Amino acid sequence: MKPRVEIIALGGTIACRPDSGSGGVAPGLSGADLAAAVPALADVARIAARNLANVPSTEIGLPLLFDLVRAIRAHEADGVAGVVVTQGTDTIEETAFVLDLLHGGDMPVVVTGAMRNPTLPGADGPANLLAAVTCAAYPACRGLGAVVTLDDRIHAARWVQKCDTSSTGAFHSPAPLGWLAEGKAALYARPARRAPLPLPEGAGLPFVPILKPGLSDDPRLVHAALDAGAGGIVLDLAGGGHVHSGWLGALGAAVSRVPVVFASRTRGGRVLSRTYGQSGGEIDLLRRGLGGAGDLDALKARLLLMLLLMAGTPDRYCQLTDLSLPPGAA
């Protein structure tokens, strides 16, 4: 008997259809519509499909993702082989990371979407859905956490980034975990897993802005964030984690009140910890009590900080941020 795979659809380009009001496209196709358009899915798995939402992916918020995690847990407890989440690609790098942080099981959770909507020549949604279901049903893909498959590549949720507005090859990670071809998943790496974070029950959403200083930028942004009630701040800094020395006063005020984490606006590599000695360099920032985001970009660092704030354990940030290193090696 073929394995069971559940498709949970959230909307996005993969589910778009013509929108007469705007002249563009908008989400409207259901998960069942998406599955019905790819008969080859039946060769891979017994499919069930449903919607938790049908929205552009910028409308997805953490409460919806928490409902999604509850649904994923229920499916795993029910013996489902894998779950495929279809959604807009604009925020996949964030949603998949949240799922990865909260999903502790071995069942594959595979997030996919499409860069070309179904009205366009060469629409990639059907191929991406087939690849995602193949990955979700594939025994070797168990234990990977949440992954993102697009363009026949399998990316770890913790590192994947959308790097192009329209190319079908928009998704990148420093080292994809593997690829899909001829109905099989080939893996060349397995990411280290961490214990899942608790699913926040009843905690309010903290306000955690990302501040990205440019040249001659104004540190009043930091005070504005604090005055607006920030529960934490993520800085998206130059290079290995460097800011103009004129920001240090404001950052000192911030770090005495809330957790402040810095990531690199290069969106690649890791923030540094012991190389540059200038005022406002990474050594200085760490000495002043800011935390480094390790290899997480600012978007992912923000989500991790939000979940830790909701769990009441923001001090665990530095244990969890160095996801590319084996536990204990950070």
Interface with ligand ASP (CB under 6 A)? 12-13, 56-57, 88-90, 113, 115
Nearer to ligand ASP, 29 or 323 (CB): 29
Rounded Cα distance, 48 and 110, in Å: 15
Closest approach, Cβ 59 to ligand ASP, in A, equals 8
Nearer to ligand ASP, 24 or 183 (CB): 24
- State the helix-helix crossing angle for 62-77 and 92-102, rounded to 10 degrees: 50
Closest approach, Cβ 113 to ligand ASP, in A, equals 5
Closest approach, Cβ 61 to ligand ASP, in A, equals 13
58 is catalytic: no
Nearer to ligand ASP, 99 or 197 (CB): 99
Among residues 13, 86, 112, 149, the one annotated as catalytic is 13
Rounded Cα distance, 288 and 282, in Å: 10
Closest approach, Cβ 208 to ligand ASP, in A, equals 21
Residues 136, 154 contacting (CB under 8 angstroms): no
Closest approach, Cβ 321 to ligand ASP, in A, equals 26
Closest approach, Cβ 96 to ligand ASP, in A, equals 13
Nearer to ligand ASP, 12 or 31 (CB): 12
Nearer to ligand ASP, 89 or 149 (CB): 89
Nearer to ligand ASP, 56 or 231 (CB): 56
Nearer to ligand ASP, 17 or 257 (CB): 17
Rounded Cα distance, 97 and 52, in Å: 18
Closest approach, Cβ 68 to ligand ASP, in A, equals 15
Residues 86, 44 contacting (CB under 8 angstroms): no
Three-class DSSP labels, the chain: CCCEEEEEEEECHHHEEECCCCCCEEECCCHHHHHHCCHHHHHCCEEEEEEEEEECHHHCCHHHHHHHHHHHHHHHHCCCCEEEEECCHHHHHHHHHHHHHHCCCCCCEEEECCCCCCCCCCCCHHHHHHHHHHHHHCHHHCCCCEEEEECCEEEECCCCEECCCCCCCCEECCCCCEEEECCEEEECCCCCCCCCCCCCCCCCCCCCCEECCCCCCCCHHHHHHHHCCCCCEEEEEECCCECCHHHHHHHHHHHCCCCEEEEECCCCCCCCCCCCCCCCCHHHHHHCCCEECCCCCHHHHHHHHHHHHHHCCHHHHHHHCCCCCCCCCC
Catalytic (active-site) positions: 13
